[in-house]
Structure 1
Amino acid sequence: MHRRRRTALLLSAAIVAAPLLTACGGDARPGAAAVVGDQRITVAQLENRVGEVRSAQRAAVSDDAQYAQVVAKSGTLSRDVLGNMVLDRVLRRAAQDAGVSVTRKEVQQMRGGLEKQVGGAEALRTAWLQQYGVPPQRLDENLRLQLEAQKLGTALGTDAGKPAFWDALAAASKKLDVRLNPRYGTWDMQKRGRADVRTPWVREVTAAARQPA
């Protein structure tokens, strides 16, 4: 397999399937799912993106039972989608800081190569939806993300996923002052992923309720 295509698939598994960026203090503004720089990702925008994924998932299965199974397997979809929306902005800032850009022609070339690899356009759309939760209308957008990550790694003299790559993303995240609505968890740069808000009092109350009177 060509190195570029192999890298693209690895990137998809690493940064598309789950949010991977940054912990910053403070809460998002009221009505916002997240704040990235001077841009708000509103709850309505997030719900619209989640709806795109659910609609695509529903169209891809033949009955209600299958769809229920798909939904059950993607219970963190809202948080995952929000993570990807944040990642898109942070990665773009890191790429800009490194002088990296991606053309539409490059995106189409990558898409064409992947379509040949997996057996056609429909097969690629299905694979990205099933494996990474990317609906068909967001495929090119996601491939641009992959190319930006590849080019950023090259500009930094490293590979996407290596420490220097994450350092660049962390620096971009800090500049953008990413803030996440606690409803969707927190960002933890040390863990390189989304973390749920810890609620130890739930365990304490549950344990107390189990004690004999």
Structure 2
Amino acid sequence: MHRRRRTALVLSAAIAAAAPFLTACGSDAHPGAAAVVGGQRITVSQLENRVNEVRRAQRAAVPDTTQYQQVLAATSSLTRDTLYNMVLDRVLHRAAQDAGVTVNRKEVEQERSVLEQQAGGSQALQTTWLQKYGIAPDRLDDNLRFQVEAKKLAQALGTDPSQPAFWKALSSASEELHVDLNPRYGSWDVQKSSRVDAKTPWVREVTAAGTQVSA
């Protein structure tokens, strides 16, 4: 596998695995919000819309009902994972700003071009990101910007995304932003360095085809 291809995949895996290092808390102080980051709300409606984008893409990619049910079962934590990614995107952007890192459109286009060549085309890349990372095709460029921003931040810090120095910068950014997660979606446990998922049976994440995801 090409080195840049490995880098992109490893980066995505590292970010997904290390996200619990972020400092955050949960409260019911913001009704209707899935999370509040830097005083800006990520509403439950916005979260549901993002999740539904993925579900529609998955359904289109897997028309067989039985196979689609298997996909739903395999991605039952999609709502929480999507929220964490939405929060992490804002935290990463703050950390990048603090480090003087910027990303332009040309860099994102270059990243996409390279990955498309390695994946075997645009459709193949979209399928890979959907299956591996739960990224809807329409959100691919946003995620690639995230990837480029993370790599450039790591370079600016003289480290890489798998190292504590990178996550320390993101933890500091999350503290600056006062990340506040709605407890129904879980919380970050920085002491245990692990994700603590809410044990709430009334959170419904696996839905039938064509229905809205409800919280």
Task: State the TM-score, normalizing by the size of structure 2.
Answer: 0.87
Deviations 1:75-127 (A, max 9, x none): 11100000000000000000000000111111011101001111111000000
Bigger shift: residues 139-148 or 8-17? 8-17
| Aligned amino acid, residue 138 of structure 2 | Q
Report the CA distance between 1:194 and its aligned residue. 2.7
| Aligned amino acid, residue 171 of structure 1 | S
SS at match of 2:25: coil
Name the structure 1 match of 2:85.
84
| Aligned amino acid, residue 180 of structure 2 | R
Report the CA distance between 1:187 and its aligned residue. 1.0
Name the structure 1 match of 2:172.
171
Distance in structure 2 (CA, Å) of the matches to 1:172 and 1:115? 32
Name the structure 1 match of 2:189.
188
Bigger shift: residues 178-187 or 25-34? 25-34
Name the structure 2 match of 1:61.
62
The equivalences for 1:1-213 within 5 A come to 1-16=1-16, 19-20=19-20, 22-28=22-28, 29-197=30-198
How has the CA–CA distance of structure 1 residues 21 and 145 changed in structure 2, closer, same or farther, with 3 Å as cutoff?
Answer: farther
Question: Is the contact between residue 22 and residue 167 of structure 2 (CA under 8 Å) also seen in structure 1?
Answer: no
Distance in structure 1 (CA, Å) of the matches to 2:84 and 2:194? 9
How has the CA–CA distance of structure 1 residues 30 and 59 changed in structure 2, closer, same or farther, with 3 Å as cutoff?
Answer: same
Distance in structure 2 (CA, Å) of the matches to 1:69 and 1:19? 26
Query: When the two structures are aligned, how many residues end up with a matched partner?
Result: 199
| Aligned amino acid, residue 188 of structure 1 | D
Identity %: 66
Gaps of 5+ in 2: 201-215
Task: State the TM-score, normalizing by the size of structure 1.
Answer: 0.87
Report the CA distance between 1:188 and its aligned residue. 1.9
Question: Is the contact between residue 17 and residue 132 of structure 1 (CA under 8 Å) also seen in structure 2?
Answer: no
Report the CA distance between 1:20 and its aligned residue. 4.1
Gaps of 5+ in 1: 200-213
Report the CA distance between 1:160 and its aligned residue. 1.2
